[in-house]
Amino acid sequence: MSEPWQHFYQSQRLRLSYWTWGDAANPPLVLLHGGRDHARSWDQVAEAFRDDYHVLAADLRGHGDSEYAKGSLYGLPEHALDLYALIQLVGGRATVVGHSFGGAISLLTAGMFPECFDRIVSLEGAGARMENDPDGITPKSMRDWALQSRSFEQRTPRVYPTIEEARDRMQDANPQLSAEMAMHLARWGTLGIDGGYVWKFDPWVRGRVPFELRGEDMEQLWAAITSPVLHLIGGKSQQRRDDFRGRSLDNYFTDSRTAVVPDAGHWMHHDQLAITVQHVRAFLDEGRAASEAAS
Q: Give the count of domains, the chain.
A: 1
Query: Per the domain annotation, does 259 fall within a domain?
Result: yes
Q: Which domain holds residue 208?
A: 5-156+202-294
For the stretch 1-37, pLDDT in tens is: 679 999 999 999 999 999 999 999 999 999 999 999 9
Q: How far apart are CA 168 and CA 161, in angstroms?
A: 12
DSSP string covering 211-263, please? SPPBHHHHHHHHHT--S-EEEEEETT-TT--SEETTEEGGGGSSSEEEEEETT
Query: Per the domain annotation, does 288 fall within a domain?
Result: yes
Residue 266, φ and ψ in degrees, nearest 5: -65, -35
Please compute the mean of the pLDDT values over residues 139-143 and round it to a whole number. 86
Query: Per the domain annotation, does 115 fall within a domain?
Result: yes
Which of 4-13, 108-117, 234-243 is the least confident region? 234-243
For the stretch 164-182, pLDDT in tens is: 999 999 999 999 999 999 9
For the stretch 47-87, pLDDT in tens is: 999 999 999 999 999 999 999 998 877 999 999 999 999 99
CATH number, domain with residue 256: 3.40.50.1820
